[in-house]
Amino acid sequence: MSSSSSGAGRRRVDVQRLPDFFLVGPPRTGTTWVHSVLGRHALLPMAKETRFFDLHFHRGLDWYRAHYPNLSSDRAMGEVAPTYFACAKARERIALTVPSAKIVCNFRDPVQRIVSLYRLKRAYGMIPWTLEQAITRDPELIESGRYATNFKAWRSSFGASQVLVTIYEDLCTQPQAYVDTVADFLGIPRFTLTPSQLGHVFASESMTEPRNYFRTRGAMVISDWFKARRLHRIVDAVKGSPAIKLFLGGGPAFAEISRDLLLRLYELFRPEVEELEGLLNRDFSAWKSAHARVVAMAAKGSAIA
């Protein structure tokens, strides 16, 4: 059971402890940046994503705890885990294992997010398809964009007081106010973002098609094998070396997305966005203005991040 607190006093030190909170994404909503800025103020896994509650639950809690560098720390313990958002099994397992955990969701224009997630998966050799093929063959792309449906499920499992919704656009435009809101909710003392951290708010990977899909795919399979054995340092060493260029990048730029496909996606997500407006009492007209958004995205071309 987690040893959470309001932040007013010191947390109980317990090497058998479990997370006080989870930032569950969905993917491509600034979670990498949030992980980097929270890392100095909360106890997080050495690797950003353990994938314990969705992929590795059978490995047991000792395997999971081994990802944390210092369980005797009195800092709030948590995980930034964007793949958990649309995974019912992950949600159910967290609810059973740490029912007192606080949950943070972060939402972004669903079509921009799905394009960004597709390009990440394609660049890293996770999928071989075009975007139009992927939206019918990769369930995560669509399911992780069903914000209202999944938010209601998390709220039902944990209670309204334990689930916070934040918005990606707020992170981009007011990063300090954003982290203040998250810190207050998690019971972490507020902290001031450094100029370096502020400078990376808008940073995004310069992704292209893989130079060789099968080589990139093979490298990712090997990487996952090392991660499953908690050998993240080896993976990080390769990522930080010139060798990474053999597996990532170097291919052609992503093709522009057809307006028809973008319009279909906006219409697909419109009911979810409208329901979310009612749940959060917030206007998301910009996410629903399909034609205007498509024109803007078409003008950006392959720079959509």
Please report the pLDDT score of residue 46 as a whole number: 87
User: Which parts of the chain are beta strand (E)?
Assistant: 21-25, 78-80, 102-107, 163-167
In a domain, 295, yes or no: no
In a domain, 259, yes or no: no
Q: What is the CATH number of the domain that holds 178?
A: 3.40.50.300
In a domain, 168, yes or no: yes
In a domain, 88, yes or no: yes
Q: Give dist(CA 158, CA 163) in Å, integer.
A: 7
Mean pLDDT value across residues 81-110: 98
In a domain, 44, yes or no: yes
Domain ranges, residue 69: 21-202
Please report the pLDDT score of residue 217 as a whole number: 59
Asked if residue 86 has pLDDT above 90, the reply is yes
Mean pLDDT value across residues 270-285: 97
Q: Output the pTM of the full model.
A: 0.83
pLDDT band per the 50, 70, 90 thresholds, residue 4:
very low
Please report the pLDDT score of residue 255 as a whole number: 82
In a domain, 43, yes or no: yes
Half-sphere exposure at residue 284, Cβ-oriented, CA atoms within 13 angstroms = 29
Query: C-alpha 285: how far from its chain's center?
Result: 23
Asked if residue 158 has pLDDT above 90, the reply is yes
Strand partners, 77: 43
The model's pLDDT over 174-201, given as tens digits with 9 standing for 90+, comes to: 999 999 999 999 999 999 999 988 877 6
Q: How many domains does the chain have?
A: 1
In a domain, 26, yes or no: yes
Q: What is the mean pLDDT of the chain?
A: 84
Please report the pLDDT score of residue 224 as a whole number: 62
Question: What's the chain's Rg over C-alpha atoms?
Answer: 19
Least confident span in 2-6, 79-83, 104-108, 223-227: 2-6
SS3 184: helix
Please report the pLDDT score of residue 272 as a whole number: 97
Asked if residue 304 has pLDDT above 50, the reply is no
The model's pLDDT over 214-269, given as tens digits with 9 standing for 90+, comes to: 566 565 666 665 556 665 665 565 556 555 555 566 677 788 888 899 999 999 99
Q: By C-alpha distance, which of 245, 104, 113 is closest to 186?
A: 104
234, 235, 240, 244 alpha-carbon torsion, rounded to 10°: 120
